[in-house]
Amino acid sequence: MSQSGVQVASSTNYATDATFGSSPEVIEANPLAWLARLLPYVPAAAALGYNAARLRLDQALTKPWVFNPALQSAANSLFRPAQQIPGGLAGAIRHTVRTGELVGRSTHVQAGIDRFNQLTRVLRTQDLNALDRLNAQVLRSDLSGALLEAGVKVP
C-alpha cells in the first residue's frame, strides 16, 4: 500500500513490471507474454507467407524479412534496391528466357547458379531459425525454377 492508501504496482502487474515478457514465471502467469515475445516474428512470418503464396502461383517474389546475417547478405544480393525487373535475380533470369532480352547486358545464369549454391551453403552451415530456414528454401526453390527454365543441367 502507498501512503495514500492506493495499492501500487506489484511484481505481478504486467503493465508496469520491468520483467514483462522475459521472466518464465510471468510468462506462465500471463499467456499474453508469449504473444509479446512472438511479435517481432509476425512481419517476417507474414512476408514469408506472401512469398510462399507467390512462389506457388509462379509470380515474382519480393525480398524476404530474415534474421540471420549470412542469409540477409544472400537476400540483399538477390534483390537489389535498383532492380529493373521484379523478382530479383530469378526474375531477371526468367525475363531473359521468356523475352530474349538481356537485363543489364547479362543473362544472370552464372550469378543465379552461384547464388543458389550460396543459399545451399547458408542452409548447411548456419544455425537458422525456422522462419529463416523456410525463407531460404523458398528462395532456393524460386531460383532453381528459373535456372531449370534457362536450361541449366542438374549435376
User: 44: closest CA among 132, 139, 136, 127?
Assistant: 132
Rounded CA-CA distance 134/125 in Å is: 15
124 binds another protein (CB under 8 A): yes
Options 27, 36, 47, 152; binder of another protein; rule CB under 8 A: 152
| Residue 96 found at the interface with another protein (CB under 8 A) | no
CB of 107 to another protein, least distance (A): 6
- Would you count residue 57 as binding another protein (CB under 8 A)? no
3-state SS string for 31-58:
CHHHHHHHHHHHHHHHHHHHHHHHHHCC
Interface stretch with another protein, choices 7-15, 20-28, 36-44, 104-112 (CB under 8 A): 104-112
Specify the stretch interacting with another protein by CB under 8 A; choose among 5-13, 29-37, 63-71, 118-126: 118-126
Return the residue matching grid coordinates 543489364.
104
Q: Is 59 in the site for another protein (CB under 8 A)?
A: no
Residues at the interface with another protein (CB under 8 A): 52, 55-56, 73, 77, 80-82, 89, 104-111, 113-118, 120-121, 124, 134, 137-138, 140-141, 144, 147, 152-155
